[in-house]
Amino acid sequence: MNRHAFLDHVETELARADRHVAGFALLFIDVDEFKQINDVLGHAAGDEYLRLTAARLAAHLRAGDLLCRWGSDEFIVLALDLEPEAGPAASLAQSVAFSLAEVLAQPVKVADQEVQLNASIGIALYPGDGKDAAELIQRAELAMSRAKQAGRNQIHFYRPEMQSDAARRMTLGRELRQALAAKQFLLYYQPQVDAAGRLIGAEALVRWHHPERGLVSPGEFIPLAEELGLIGSLGEWVLADGVAWLGKLNGAAQALPMLSVNVSARQFHEAGFAERCLAVLRHAGISPERVELEVTESLLLADIDGALAKIGALREAGFGFAVDDFGTGYSSLAYLKRLPVQKLKIDRSFVQDVHRDEKNAAIVRTIIALAKNLGMQTIAEGAERREEVDFLIEAGCDAFQGYYFGKPLASDEFIRRWLTAAPQ
């Protein structure tokens, strides 16, 4: 059924539901990663896959339900004759969605290849979630995009907060684009110390000085910058601003030995990343030996050989590498073995309460032993108390970063607190 005919049907069903005091659900189905089929197997295969998918959905509808091919890889199912109350209607709609998701997840043969894709599904209910066809479709689609954002292959119901969330994200995204041009970002620096409490470096942590909202934390805007493809330029700015600062500090009473800079996976995978890093440091007149790039294990999820080659080239030039949030991600020891990094950064979740949480203690000891055996160093992040630090020193951890030693500070404060006093 095409869009036009489908909209007519929805309107008819609206009127019918009102007359019979019934309800219905609109399931917005979007195939995850569909583009891959087009890219890898070609457009003819992509079309064939969608035809098969439509047929599979149609074959599994409940009697009387309707199917519409809404967009290229989007389908809408109208599940009719539900209770008017949201509770029972939702549980039936959910079981319909589950069974359709299961049907779609079955592998199919396309262009002589087995193809298996999942789908993200958003659900809007009538009468609760909207008053007309357009509103219901828009809301089911919004719920579907939330399912995608939450990691795909999920079923989400529409909730009213999704409207304001989506509006807020759109505004934030627009402002984020402008913020780069308007130079609204600044760096905070958090000290890193050795077991004797001596300053060995600092991590640059970006902040957004929003004209109305004040300082916005990176947890809020980094994921958005990644999604909008802005992380490359933002990350490059962080590196440039950080090393320019490092250069200025060479004139201070005490220079800062090392600067750690976060690099997100998406930024790292961009073409020309290594060349741009080198150019930025050359421009600042800073040796790459004084810069450590913090990357996460997720870097290795795609294009492993390319990633290893990139890290190798940057290591060759002198850059240091640390694996950030170590132990929380996709840790394959086989890859770790091949990874030319010299530091593991023990995630805060393991450091917390390490002196009295036996499991954390075991994990931290294991990471330190693993690092030692691979010839790598360890730095613990998020150390907040003396007892945690004592445990970590005892366990042989090389370096520390956390509120116990110092919070991230603006440049001036960092200099005052850490670089003008006599060496401690």
Q: Return the CA Rg of the chain.
A: 27
292 counts as binding Ca ion under rule CB under 5 A: no
Report the sign of the C-alpha dihedral through residues 345, 350, 356, 359, in that order.
negative
Which SS3 state, helix, strand or coil, does residue 90 take?
helix
Given the rule CB under 6 A, which residues bind ligand C2E?
190, 205-206, 217-219, 222, 235, 238, 262-264, 324-325, 381-384, 402-403, 408
The site for Ca ion, by CB under 5 A, has a size of 4
Q: Residue 122 binds which entry of ligand C2E, Ca ion, none, with Cβ cut-offs from 5 to 8 Å by kind?
A: none
Give the angle 95-96-101 at the CA atoms, nearest 5°: 95
Please give the residues from 40 up to 79 whose contact with Ca ion meets the rule CB under 5 A.
none
Smallest distance from ligand C2E to CB 288, Å: 17
Please give the residues from 86 up to 145 whose contact with Ca ion meets the rule CB under 5 A.
none
Instruction: Give the integer Cα–Cα distance in Å for 412 and 402.
Output: 19
3-state SS record for 100-120: HHHHHHCCEEECCEEECCCEE
Nearest to 259 by CA among 317, 207, 188, 209: 188
Nearer to ligand C2E, 141 or 347 (CB): 347
**Residues 294, 297, 388, 398: which binds Ca ion (CB under 5 A)?**
294
Smallest distance from Ca ion to CB 297, Å: 11
Instruction: Give the integer Cα–Cα distance in Å for 250 and 269.
Output: 32
297 counts as binding Ca ion under rule CB under 5 A: no
Nearer to ligand C2E, 130 or 201 (CB): 201
Buried b (16+ CB within 10 A) or exposed e, 225-261: bbebebbbebbbbbbbbbbebbeebeeeeeebebbbb
Q: Residue 206 binds which entry of Ca ion, ligand C2E, none, with Cβ cut-offs from 5 to 8 Å by kind?
A: ligand C2E
Q: Please state the length of the chain.
A: 424
Smallest distance from ligand C2E to CB 241, Å: 9
Q: Residue 219 binds which entry of ligand C2E, Ca ion, none, with Cβ cut-offs from 5 to 8 Å by kind?
A: ligand C2E
Token look-up 């958003």 returns 122
Nearer to ligand C2E, 98 or 403 (CB): 403
Q: Residue 73 binds which entry of Ca ion, ligand C2E, none, with Cβ cut-offs from 5 to 8 Å by kind?
A: none
Q: Which stretch binds Ca ion (CB under 5 A): 55-63, 175-183, 188-196, 291-299?
A: 291-299
Nearest to 58 by CA among 80, 78, 42: 78
Smallest distance from ligand C2E to CB 294, Å: 6
**Residues 154, 262, 264, 401: which binds Ca ion (CB under 5 A)?**
262
Smallest distance from Ca ion to CB 192, Å: 11
Q: What's the token pair of residue 110?
A: 């396309």
Instruction: Give the integer Cα–Cα distance in Å for 151 and 145.
Output: 10
Whether residue 25 contacts residue 82, with contact meaning beta carbons closer than 8 Å, is answered with yes
| Torsion angles phi and psi, residue 271, rounded to 5 | -65, 140
Instruction: Give the integer Cα–Cα distance in Å for 144 and 155.
Output: 7
Please give the residues from 317 up to 336 whose contact with Ca ion meets the rule CB under 5 A.
324-325
- Positions of E strands within 100-248: 108-110, 113-115, 119-126, 155-157, 185-194, 199-210, 214-216
| Torsion angles phi and psi, residue 291, rounded to 5 | -120, 135
Q: Residue 292 binds which entry of ligand C2E, Ca ion, none, with Cβ cut-offs from 5 to 8 Å by kind?
A: none
Smallest distance from Ca ion to CB 379, Å: 10
Smallest distance from ligand C2E to CB 186, Å: 11
Nearest to 260 by CA among 323, 352, 331: 323
Q: Residue 357 binds which entry of ligand C2E, Ca ion, none, with Cβ cut-offs from 5 to 8 Å by kind?
A: none
List the x/- string, 219-258, binding to Ca ion by CB under 5 A: ----------------------------------------
List the x/- string, 170-189, binding to Ca ion by CB under 5 A: --------------------
Q: Which stretch binds Ca ion (CB under 5 A): 116-124, 210-218, 261-269, 371-379?
A: 261-269
Nearer to ligand C2E, 202 or 263 (CB): 263
Nearer to Ca ion, 147 or 222 (CB): 222
* Binding positions for Ca ion, rule: CB under 5 A: 262, 294, 324-325
